[in-house]
Structures are given as structure tokens and as C-alpha cells.
Chains A and B, each alone.
Chain A
Amino acid sequence: MGRPMQVARYWRHFKEKYRLIGGKCKSCGHVHFPKRPLCPECGSQEIEEFQFSGRGKVVSWTIVRNPPSGYEYYKPYPVALIELEEGPVVLAQLTDIDPEKIDFGMEVEMVTRKIREFDEDGIILYGYKFRPPIK
């Protein structure tokens, strides 16, 4: 799977995956993640970029014990649905956490981490994960 032109497939999403930038509808004000070509609420095509704070709460979670190929390195790892404080829900891995301590409504914050590596000479993917906030 280590094809060189995979690179473009991933840098297209740097804004979203490194900085958690989504979309905001100029017409109705609805915010969403990732950014879409049409507002999922009102259908308007006037969408501007929106910077999320990166803070959110755990809605549900699981522990991936049999990952898809390419993701074996971290297994087992927790994946959660996280409701951002601005409203939208994102799916991401949880990191820096004891899986036993994950709970409904737990507060988390976004961090940038390595997601996976491809084969030797392949690219390394980074993106958002969420962890309990450092206070």
C-alpha cells in the first residue's frame, strides 16, 4: 500500500486533520466537520472555514482489538465519538489514557499525533487524536 502518490491523498486534508478546521454555513450559521460543499442543514453552498476549539466530550467508545491491516502497531487502541463543544461529533482515537478510565461525557482535548506509518520508504500519517485535558 506504500504508493508514493498516496501523499496527495493525505495533504489535501492537512487543515482538517492537523488543525481541526471544518465548515460554517454563511447562510444559517450551522457548523460542521469535516467541511462539506453544501450545508447539511439548509443546503446553502456558501460555506466558510471554521476553526474548532478542539475541546469536547466522549459520546461513546470502543477498543479496537482486530484492526484493519496497517493499524496493527497500536493495538488494542480506543476509538471514540467525541462531541465538540461547538456541536459536531467527530470520530477519533483516544490517546494518553487508561482504556478502563474512559467514560460517557469525559472531557477531552485534541492533540496531533501519528496515525500510521506505511511500509519502509512510505509516508507517515499524522492527524488528530483526543486525550484528557492537561490542566
Chain B
Amino acid sequence: MRKPVIIGVGLTPVGEHWRLGLRDLAVEALLNAMEDAGVDKVDSLYVGNMASGSFVEQENLGALIADWAGLGNIPAVKVEAACASGGAAVQEGVKAVMSGLEDVVAVVGVEKMTDAWPSDATRYLAYAADAEWELFHGVSFVALNALAMRLYMKEYGYTEEDLALFAVNAHANGAKNPYAMFKKPITVETVIKSPYVADPIKLFDASPIADGAAAVIITTEDKAKEFVDKAKMVEVAGMGRAIDTINLANRKDFLILKAAKVAAERAYRMAGISANDIDFFEVHDAFTIMAALSLESIGVAERGKGAMLAKEGQIAIDGDYPIQTLGGLKARGHPVGATGVYQTVEAVWQLRGEAPNQVPDAEIGLTQNIGGTGSNITVTLLRRV
């Protein structure tokens, strides 16, 4: 199969974009990526988006965005996998290029969340859970994650302060990212003094509701030479994707993200590497507990030791396992369906040596994007060409 490479990236800052609609954000990111790649047309478009129908009453995003970006009569579809929609869209784009069906593919992740009333936004996010057996009982997405966090703390003896370290790290890194929603460092005290949203999850354990779009251009290694220098090429070396029970209660083990484990194993096998070979990790820290569980599930930490990495300072840029290098979902912001593409863009920056807080000599990066309460997960490995 053909070797897929990313040759261009584009994005908008994450934030509350009152003056911009979904299409404005998507088209801005997409055109930026095309300019970065030096391409003026693409063979197809994949749009990562979770809930545009609920948030802005707009489906058919393939047609909308390709039309408004002037891409002509190309094939264009929306890819939905809850909060992992962005990661899934990137993987669909990669598959199209690898298969030989399409040579130059655009992927854009977009979500416009702030047009909705906050309690409605909470409802729409819960649509990623099981409507009849979870949302029916009035559970929010935060609450589902809180059930896991309480168990995790009890099982392994961690405190709220311990898990807050993930938020502190994310904000420290986000402060250096001009596209991040929050550019202010915080302390453990900031997290602990913030109000509970769903005990034991506090406001600062959780990622914000936000708007944003990010895009990448994918082609083959051979074709890439027509557009950019080698320094701008980043290979998609491996990828995997898996689901778990949609309903948290149906899980045999509440403290393992089985879908992440399976997805990571598939990605490692495809790339011919192990977790030890990876220089940085963009994991899905929608909540601090998810950062801990993610590190364990992708094989970076042993079971119950994910939060230990934070306590030992190993997750910082200069640690052994840098995570959330540009702020993660927590500080960069989490426009749900766009997040996986933001992670991809940030990994590309690191591998091109263009990140504002560079991981020294980064050669391989991992992005892990979670949809639902761990029910739909993508893992993608990117490598310097």
C-alpha cells in the first residue's frame, strides 16, 4: 500500500467565536491547510464533526464545506464517531490515500458549540452516550466520567489533588500555544477551589465547550514531492480504531479503556513500534481522569500508575512522557468533532520542529481521540519523514 503523508495543516484558534459560524471556521482552517500544503485542489473531503445537527441544525457538512471552500464537485462526507470524529476523519482520509483511490485528500474537523444554550449543549454531548439507558436517567457526560474517577481514586488511593496535576500540566503547555483557548498557567489550588460539576469532577478537571476547526492535507510520499520539501512531510505511520460498549454500566472493567488498548495495539503493529519508541503523546484529556486512564490503556503506564506519571513530573515537555504538548483538550479547548484534527495538527508541528514548546528531537508522536465514555477510540501514530 502507498505511504500516506501529511503535507499541510491549518486551524483557527479555539474559543467562543461569536462572529463566526460553523462554515466560516471550517473554510478558514481548510484554506489555511491547502495554502500550507501548496495545493489548490483536492480529490475529496472528509469532515470530522460530532453534532452539527443538534448544535447548529446543519447536517450534510460534506456538501456545505466543500461548496463554500470552492472545492468543486468532489466527493465529500461527514465522519461521526462522537468526540473521536476528528481522529476518525483523519483515518478515513488516510485510508482513501493508501488505497490508491484518491491522491490528495483534505480532512477538516469542526464543531460550533457556543450557539447552543449551555444545558442544551450538555444534552447534545450526552447524545454520545446511550440515550435509552444513560441519558434517560439524567446523566451528563461529565457525570459518566465522574463515576470512573471516583472508582479510580478509591482503587489506587489517589486524591483530587493528584489528578489535578494533569490540568496543571495542560495549562502550562497551553500557555505557549497561540491557538489555545486558555493561555494562563494554573495551580493545583485553582483546580481544587473550582466548583464541582459532577463530584469528584470539578470545573477545572473538565475541558471547555468551544468552537474551532482544524484541517490537514494528506497525500502519498511520491506525490508529496510535487508540493513541499521533505522537512514539511509527516508520515502517518500507524493507526487503529476500536469500540467498546456504548453503555458504561455494561463494561466488565470500568478502569480500562479497552477500545484504546485495542486501537493502540493495532497502530503499533502497523507502524512496527512500541509505546517506548514514542516521543510525545496527545491523549484525550476531556477530563483529568481520562488522561490517566489513557496513559494506562495505550501501554505507557501500568494499570493504576497513570496518575503516578503526573506526580513524578514525567508528563511535562522535559519529562520522559510529554503529554498535551500544546495544551490538550483541557487548555487548548475541546470543540468535540474537531479535537482529533487539532491533535493531528499539533503533532505535525512537533514533528516538523515548529511547535512553540518543542519536544526536543521528536521523531514519533501519538494522538489518541476518545468518543463517548471510551466507547469509540482512535489512535494514530505520526512520524518524521
Contacts and interface: CB of A to CB of B under 8 A. Distances in A.
B150 A62 contact: yes
B147 A61 contact: yes
A88 B250 CA distance: 7
Query: At the interface, is chain A mostly helix, strand, loop or mixed?
Result: strand
B123 A81 contact: no
Query: At the interface, is chain B mostly helix, strand, loop or mixed?
Result: helix
A79 B254 CA distance: 16
A98 B201 CA distance: 19
B148 interface: yes
Interface residues of B, number: 37
* A interface bracket (residues with beta carbon within 8 Å of B): 35 or more
B138 A65 contact: no
B117 interface: yes
A81 B249 contact: yes
Contacts of B68: none
B126 interface: yes
Interface stretch (B59-67, B127-135, B231-239): B127-135
Given A61-B150, A81-B147, A89-B250, A74 B138 contact: yes
A91 B137 contact: yes
A17 B126 CA distance: 20
Query: What are the 5 tightest A-B residue pairs by CB atom distance, in nearest-first order?
Result: A71-B138, A68-B123, A62-B146, A69-B119, A91-B249
Interface of B: 117-120, 122-123, 126, 132-140, 142-143, 146-148, 150-151, 154, 195-201, 247-251, 254
26 contacts: A60-B150, A60-B254, A61-B147, A62-B146, A62-B201, A64-B139, A64-B140, A66-B118, A66-B198, A67-B140, A68-B119, A68-B120, A68-B123, A68-B138, A68-B140, A69-B120, A70-B138, A71-B138, A72-B119, A74-B138, A79-B139, A80-B147, A88-B250, A91-B249, A92-B137, A104-B154
Interface of A: 13, 17, 32, 34, 40, 59-72, 74, 77, 79-81, 88-93, 104, 115-116, 125, 127
